[in-house]
Structure 1
Amino acid sequence: MKVKVQLRLLKVNDDVEIELKESSTIRHLLEKLVSIYGDDLKKLIYSTRQRFGVMAIVNGERSKLDQKLKHKDELLLILPVVGG
């Protein structure tokens, strides 16, 4: 299955399509993206405790990392911003 990902985190100008196995989750997709884009992406999406520190929006809805993806889903990754 193919999933479209908006990678504004890495200054990638275009959306990318990633091929995944059926029943893959958002977590699987993030791991695959790190294997493709390397340390630059890894530093952005992992928190200090080696947990993912991004918010995933699938087809316009906030989603959990264990959500299964479907063919043609569209994913947007957002870095949460905290301020005071």
Structure 2
Amino acid sequence: MPNDAESLFNRIDAMQPGGEPQGKEPRRVKGGKRGGKRSRDDYTQIGAYIPVETHKQVKARLYAEDKQLSELLTELLEKWLSE
């Protein structure tokens, strides 16, 4: 019987480079496309450096409000652009 570490490494080895287990198709939504903003043509990814403490507070509040960071950023940026 494999130990916990062996079991973990066996599961990791079974993963494809894209992160999906071998032999399983990615989840699909209506229309046959993968879900999420990453696969949508009307979204783009951005990056920024923010203070660690700010990041922790933002993550906690987003979790408490069941909200995604992309939703918050979109709201803030649209408000800023409309000024």
Higher helix share: 2
Instruction: Tell which structure's C-alpha radius of gyration is larger.
Output: 2
- Tell me which interval the TM-score lies in, with the shorter structure as reference length: under 0.3
Q: Which has the higher contact order (CA 8 A, sep 6+)?
A: 1
Higher strand share: 1
| TM, length-normalised to structure 1 | 0.22
